[in-house]
Amino acid sequence: MKSVQQFLSGIRQGDYLSLARVLTLVENELPGSAELLSAMEINQNIPIIGITGPPGAGKSTLVNALISKLSEQQKKVAVLAVDPTSPFNLGSLLGDRVRMSAHFNKPDVYIRSVATRGSVGGLSARIIEMADVLKAANFDYIIVETVGVGQSEIEIAGLADVTLVVLVPEGGDEIQHIKSGIMEIADAFIVNKADREGADSFANQLRKMLHHSPKLVPVFKTIAEKDEGIDELLSWVETNNKPENARKLFLYTEKAYQLIRNKRMHSVAKMELQEAIAERYLDESFNLYQFVSTYENL
């Protein structure tokens, strides 16, 4: 196995094999991962673009279109595509990166699927560390496509420098989601599949809702699969991916909070917890709160 310095030298030089190995070490908290993270020189100026929204909104297609445009500009792009996890085996449920298959062999594009592994906030528990590994690899842009499962995807706001929320015209529930909190985390809304009926009306309704927002939140209309509206969106992203100091403080605080929480929960293994519960839960006297208070790994 390579040394820490060999791995770090490899990822700085664009060696994707070294990068893949380091990401695997970090994602699974294997021996050497903590040393690697502590020794990395992380370029904090590399922007993280967060893309979230409900299933079927076309997030992967939009990411695919953004990669194409950035590749044309000779930009080096990394994508962390976070997929839902099966509650039974902790494996990825979607794995739909096939939509980005045209970019797999491009030398300046790196795509990695990541499972949430039981994390309830729409992101993988190790996503912060994995994003920092990519920053140490000197990409120009890092795109994080997160699971859009409802209000829980607001966790992306604690990771991304700019957060894009993707919606579709016929999704009436999205308006309710916005009222419930997503409006606060969006730096821009994208009405994708804008060639569908009602797209203009839906976009105007969004703009009216956002009129009273304390910050200026634009609404873009795109047809990602036809490459329409992508230039305008990308132009905005390129000039709005440097958060102000107050936002940076929030980002660092959120990242630190998540890292500390993950570290303190490290001794609680979900599969072991399930096995321990399996031994007792059929007992009529089983009390979940008594179990939690006496669980030996807590």
CATH of the domain at 195: 3.40.50.300
> How many domains does the chain fold into?
3
What lies within 8 Å, CB to CB, of 76 at 6+ separation is 108, 109, 138, 139, 140, 141
Higher pLDDT, 233 or 156: 233
Give residue 215's region: left, alpha or beta (phi > 0; psi -120 to 50): beta
CA–CA distance, 282 with 284 (Å, rounded to integer):
6
Q: Are residues 140 and 271 in the same domain?
A: no
Strand order in the sheet with 188-191: 109-115, 77-83, 141-145, 48-52, 162-167, 188-191, 219-221
Q: Are residues 140 and 99 in the same domain?
A: yes
Q: Are residues 184 and 281 in the same domain?
A: no
Q: Are residues 92 and 190 in the same domain?
A: yes
Q: Are residues 14 and 125 in the same domain?
A: no
What one-character DSSP code corresponds to residue 279? T
- Asked if the model's pLDDT at residue 98 lies above 60, the reply is no
Q: Are residues 18 and 80 in the same domain?
A: no
Distance of CA 121 to the CA centre of its chain: 10
- Asked if the model's pLDDT at residue 95 lies above 60, the reply is no
What pLDDT is recorded for position 54?
82
Element (H, E) at 225: none
| 4 contacts 36 by C-beta, under 8 angstroms | yes
pLDDT in tens, 180-235: 566 777 899 999 999 999 999 989 988 888 887 777 899 999 999 999 999 999 99
Q: Are residues 59 and 12 in the same domain?
A: no
Q: Which of 15-19, 25-29, 229-233 has the lowest mean pLDDT?
A: 25-29
- Asked if the model's pLDDT at residue 32 lies above 70, the reply is yes
Q: Are residues 154 and 210 in the same domain?
A: yes
Which residue type is seen at 258?
A: Q
Give the residue among 95, 80, 82 at the shortest CA–CA distance from 137: 80
- Asked if the model's pLDDT at residue 151 lies above 50, the reply is no
Higher pLDDT, 47 or 258: 47
What pLDDT is recorded for position 10?
95
* Averaged pLDDT score across all residues of the chain: 83
Give the residue among 158, 120, 147, 141 at the shortest CA–CA distance from 254: 158
What one-character DSSP code corresponds to residue 292? H
What pLDDT is recorded for position 110?
95
pLDDT in tens, 261-285: 878 877 777 788 899 899 999 998 9
- Asked if the model's pLDDT at residue 93 lies above 50, the reply is no
Higher pLDDT, 48 or 254: 48
What pLDDT is recorded for position 144?
94
Q: Are residues 188 and 282 in the same domain?
A: no
What pLDDT is recorded for position 237?
97
Q: Are residues 116 and 192 in the same domain?
A: yes
What pLDDT is recorded for position 219?
95
Task: Name the burial class of residue 99, with classes exposed (0-12), middle (13-18) and buried (19+) by CB atoms within 10 angstroms of its CB.
Answer: middle
Task: Tell me which residue range forms the domain holding 284.
Answer: 267-294
Q: Are residues 92 and 80 in the same domain?
A: yes
- Asked if the model's pLDDT at residue 150 lies above 70, the reply is no
Higher pLDDT, 78 or 260: 78
What one-character DSSP code corresponds to residue 166? E
pLDDT level of residue 246 (50, 70, 90 thresholds): confident
In this structure, what are the phi and psi dihedrals at residue 97, rounded to the nearest 5 degrees?
-70, 0
Q: Are residues 231 and 103 in the same domain?
A: yes
> What percentage of the chain exceeds 90 in pLDDT?
47
Q: Between the ranges 72-86, 95-109, 226-240, 282-296, where is the mean pLDDT highest?
A: 226-240
pLDDT in tens, 64-89: 999 999 999 999 999 998 876 544 44
Give residue 119's region: left, alpha or beta (phi > 0; psi -120 to 50): beta
CA–CA distance, 64 with 30 (Å, rounded to integer):
31
User: Which whole number is the average pLDDT over 163-188?
Assistant: 74
Cα 66 to Cα 49, 126, 218: the distances in Å are 11, 24, 18
